[in-house]
Amino acid sequence: MTQKTYVMIKPDAVARGLVGQIVARFEATGLTIERMQHGMVTPQQAAANYVEHEGKPFYAGLVEYITSGPVVKMVLSGPSAVPVVRKLMGATNPADAAPGTIRGDFGLTLDANIIHGSDSPESAEREIAIFFG
């Protein structure tokens, strides 16, 4: 079944010049890039995307980080796109991410962990609407 998912290459990865290597991994897996945009995340988009974390101690820092520099926003599609992307990204904490995953190979810290990907088809639909209208 073809599925869509949302992926964001975060400010730390963009600043480090890793966009091409990360995008190539998705393409090599056979996922289709339906949309891709380089730009800033607005505070409104960040608030909508991280609404479930509002009120938590790390929320302000999360919004500040994701709006601190350019990101690359993408809609990817393919068979089981959500779990395929999650597997390619690796564990959220780069210290726990397996070698060969995006976070395992490029991630430095939990706070700056290179990439975001939707965790379910429902999240993908919501996030695509937030960032692509």
Distance CA 10, CA 67 (A): 9
Distance CA 12, CA 124 (A): 22
116 assigned to active site: yes
Structure tokens at 116: 């975001």
Q: Of 6, 116, 128, 130, which residue is the catalytic one?
A: 116
- Decide: 22 and 38 in contact? Cβ < 8 Å: no
Residues designated catalytic: 116
